[in-house]
Amino acid sequence: MPKSPPSAPSPQVQVGSGGEPHHIAVGTHPPLTTNQGIPVTNNQTSLKAGSRGPTLLEDFILREKITHFDHERIPERIVHARGSAAHGVFELHTSLAKVTTAKVLTEVGVKTPVFCRFSTVAGGAGSVDTPRDVRGFAVKFYTPEGNWDLVGNNIPVFFIQDAMKFPDLVHAVKMEPDRGFPQAASAHDTFWDFISLMPESMHMIMWAMSDRTIPRSLRFIEGFGVHSFRLLDAKGRATFVKFHWRPVLGLQSTLWDEAVQLAGADPDAHRRDLWTAIEDARFPAWDLAVQLFSEADAAEFPFDHLDPTKLIPEELVPLKVIGRMTLNRNPVNHFAENEQVAYCPANIPPGIDFSNDPLLQGRLFSYLDTQLSRLGTPNFDQLPINAPKCPFHTTTRDGHMQTRVPTGRVAYEPSSLERDAPYEAPRGFQSFAAPAEPDAKGRIRPESFADHYSQARLFFRSQNPLEQAHMASALVFELSKVETPAVRERMVGHLRVIDANLAQRVANGLGLATLPPAAKPAAPVQDLPPSPALSIIDKTPPSLQDRCVAIVYSDDSDAKKLAAVDKALRKAGAKVQKLAPKIGGAKLSDGTLQAPDARLAGSPAAAFDAVALVLSSAAAQQLAQDDTAATFVRQAYAHLKAIGHDDGGKVLVEALHLVPDDGVCALDAKALVFVEAAATRQWDREERVHPLP
């Protein structure tokens, strides 16, 4: 192996192609090599026959570089292509030893490494972070008994009951195949055409049109395993389980207009937020909770828990919190970790088993299959992000990109030729010995799956009035993008069955002169008791913990006030971002030059939870004339943020004619009133600034 390149350049100065030196960072710079380890002396210019002549095929350095580059991309995920991920740990604090043997759910205090990937569903890998869309919530637990993948969403139900319909659903929501748009959006004809012909999707569509699908950031979403799974004890007895992730910071959503603003101003808003929170050591955490129930309990539910369009209200089966996941380390390489991670709901350790949910059963096939084309080889499990962290011994061999070098003669079982060859594990994975279903083989949907509207109604009626108005708005927005009137009308026909008032509001918003005929439910619609736990606004207590507050300042801002507001916000747990007109800084009243965290003009108001204006009167008057600055403050107000101001800041508020309310407050010495107001949105303002349908 060559030790060093001939005439290696000095670490500080490298000679480029034109012979002029360019300076590079001081440090130990190993020689650049090709992938074969050949040291490269000139990485600037290809090999040519004469200084102005053609490039030579002989240039293996150029060919290797370009060939590798040409093949850098792999097929993106067919769904959930855009994702953001982080490493972390899961720590169990309450053992489930009574109902399962799975060590990850029984060994209290053990820190199980995890890799968690959040995603949008419909958009491509390069699409934006804030469309109205379901968020994927996939967790790989590297347990001592093999990898467990809990591949869920931030919504506890799904659009369809049977995996047979998944390709149709995805084809309907993705960009329309003739025109190649819209990207990352459900507001188009094919999606609503399909949905309006699939009454089973009505429950999930209520969630999709709610604030759940426009989360403030990934740190503020819930996660759900969706399906019922089984837990198995040492005797093989089964208990059903549903898995829930609850964000320790609580739930938070954007307003639709904020999501739209963010899509343009910061397409990476959620990826950036997750990354920065972890870099700042504000580690996001989720509690893992379970709902446990028996076959006999399930028989009493007014729905079939094997139907993935149904949830089990937590008022019916309470949540038991058993542990916490903390994401504490960013990936070091986006491709090697985020892109190459391969989740599969079929990856479960002993002590956990599947249920007969027909959607889950189809998923058990799809994920492994998709990795074969996406990652190109059955050896994708050897990639560091996918490999188990516990000892493992298999008899699988060879294949494309085999990176292991197994030794010995034995690649089969049973064997007697080698002492240490792997044998079956007596306490390994066991399937639940479920009795065979009594009815005949066939493409049958059970009668118990026939009610498509009761839980859609339950969800709608569990939202508070503002959330209900947001849902009506979302439906009007989406259906107004649908070009085919019959599709809009068919949807309103379904809404009539879910809730008459919702249907009327949407019909008004669409300008329908008369209500279209109501859909005909296949089963009687039940008035189930509302579940308050399904509201976001009502259940999230005010808090500034790990929220982001902007302080806008400029030349001559009051240095003491600025410091006091900053201190008060940090004390309340907020992340403070100082914004000034110029990135180089502003000279404060005490003569110090204060550099901001970001330039005001490049920072969308939607990125902040509240805004403090610490300004001199002169600067405030100037900013009022600057459309970008004025828009920033107007939007913060329209997005229902608290706005704190000193005397100068008040000049700006008045110049913009913002109607005073409790959320527009003077900054007292310790900014107490503002800090309190900033801990929540100013919901009372909403109807005044956005007429709701």
Query: In the complex, which residues of this chain contact ligand HDD (CB under 6 A)?
Result: 77-80, 83, 117, 119, 136, 138, 151-153, 158, 163, 166, 226, 308, 341-343, 359, 362-363, 366-367, 370
Q: Which is nearer to ligand HDD, 77 or 452 (CB)?
A: 77
Q: Which is nearer to ligand HDD, 163 or 636 (CB)?
A: 163
Q: Which is nearer to ligand HDD, 119 or 196 (CB)?
A: 119
Query: What CA–CA distances, in Å, run from 20 to 8, 17, 449, 521?
Result: 16, 7, 74, 78
Q: Which residues pair with 174 in a beta bridge?
A: none
Q: Which is nearer to ligand HDD, 153 or 462 (CB)?
A: 153
> Which residue is it, tokens 């006030």?
561
**Pairwise CA distance, residues 201 & 515, whole Å:** 21
**Pairwise CA distance, residues 239 & 293, whole Å:** 6
Cβ pair 613, 632 in contact under 8 A: no
Least CB distance to ligand HDD at residue 152 (A): 5
**Pairwise CA distance, residues 149 & 137, whole Å:** 11
Q: Which is nearer to ligand HDD, 75 or 485 (CB)?
A: 75
CA-wise closest residue to 220 among 173, 269, 263, 177: 269
Q: Which is nearer to ligand HDD, 326 or 347 (CB)?
A: 347
**Pairwise CA distance, residues 598 & 173, whole Å:** 37
Q: Which of 87, 147, 153, 347 is catalytic?
A: 153
**Pairwise CA distance, residues 60 & 67, whole Å:** 10
153 among known catalytic residues:
yes
Least CB distance to ligand HDD at residue 413 (A): 29
**Pairwise CA distance, residues 116 & 286, whole Å:** 11
Q: Which of 80, 227, 452, 639 is catalytic?
A: 80
- How, if at all, do strands 610-614 and 548-553 pair? parallel
Phi/psi at 502 (nearest 5 deg)? -60, -45
Least CB distance to ligand HDD at residue 347 (A): 12
Least CB distance to ligand HDD at residue 219 (A): 17
Least CB distance to ligand HDD at residue 290 (A): 17
Least CB distance to ligand HDD at residue 371 (A): 6
**Pairwise CA distance, residues 560 & 434, whole Å:** 70
Burial 371-384 (b: 16+ CB within 10 A, else e): beebbeebbbbebe
Measured from each CB, the residue nearest to ligand HDD is 136
Q: Which is nearer to ligand HDD, 245 or 256 (CB)?
A: 245
Least CB distance to ligand HDD at residue 360 (A): 7
Q: Which is nearer to ligand HDD, 358 or 604 (CB)?
A: 358
80 among known catalytic residues:
yes
Least CB distance to ligand HDD at residue 330 (A): 16
Give the tokens for residue 207.
Answer: 């969630």
**Pairwise CA distance, residues 467 & 460, whole Å:** 9
Q: Which long-range contacts (CB under 8 A, 24 or more apart) does 390-396 make?
A: 390/142, 390/143, 390/144, 390/145, 390/146, 392/146, 393/422, 394/422, 395/422
Listed in sequence order, the residues at least 6 apart from 563 whose beta carbon sits closer than 8 Å to its beta carbon are none
Whole-number CA gyration radius for the chain: 29
Cβ pair 85, 331 in contact under 8 A: yes
Catalytic amino acids?
80, 153
